[in-house]
Amino acid sequence: MILRHLCLAALALAAPAAAKAPAMHVTGFAQAGLANAAAYVTVHNGGPAADRLVGVTTPAAQSASIHNSVLAGGITRMRPAGAQPISAGGQIAMRPGGLHVMLMGLKAPLRPGTRLPLTLRFARAGSVQVSLPVLAPGASPAGQGHHGH
């Protein structure tokens, strides 16, 4: 009986710690720019339920939004992409030439070697703040292994 109570107490103490584990794991990078720039993130949903990436913000730009590059009639155009669904255990992978975070009206140039603070807002998981490395235009991180948090 005492052992049962100890096990229940241990489970009760462990449950809040497990509940606080971040559901969204974000990695990525930004590319340097003067007036506008782009950031590319991979978001893995480690939570038990589907979610949606509903928006992004950064103090480094006047606006930040999710865009997609679309090839139509031989011309590539960027279009707002809106909220992005992420299944439980699934991921969103933003890459140059496709889905990305568009940073418009930079308050100061993004320079290689610096970091970009970015807040991703999810419908269920809430806000996740990351700090992404800024790379030279056209560069990509070795192994895509840069962690944002």
* pTM score: 0.80
- Would you state the pLDDT for residue 73? 86
In a domain, 149, yes or no: no
In a domain, 14, yes or no: no
In a domain, 11, yes or no: no
Q: pLDDT (tens digit, 9 = 90+) per residue, 83-134? A: 999 999 999 999 999 999 999 999 999 999 999 999 999 999 999 999 999 9
In a domain, 77, yes or no: yes
CA–CA distance from 125 to each of 19, 26, 49, 143 (Å)? 12, 13, 10, 27
From 88, 99, 18, select the one nearest 51 (Cα to Cα): 88
In a domain, 92, yes or no: yes
In a domain, 145, yes or no: no
Q: Is the pLDDT of residue 49 over 80?
A: yes
3-state SS class at 40: strand
10: confidence class by pLDDT, cuts 50, 70, 90: very low
In a domain, 6, yes or no: no
In a domain, 131, yes or no: yes
- Would you state the pLDDT for residue 4? 44
- Would you state the pLDDT for residue 16? 45
* CB atoms near residue 129 (< 10 Å): 13
Q: Kindly report the CATH number assigned to the domain that includes residue 67.
A: 2.60.40.1890
> What is the DSSP-derived secondary structure letter of residue 75?
E
Containing structural domain, residue 112: 22-140
Q: How many domains does the chain have?
A: 1
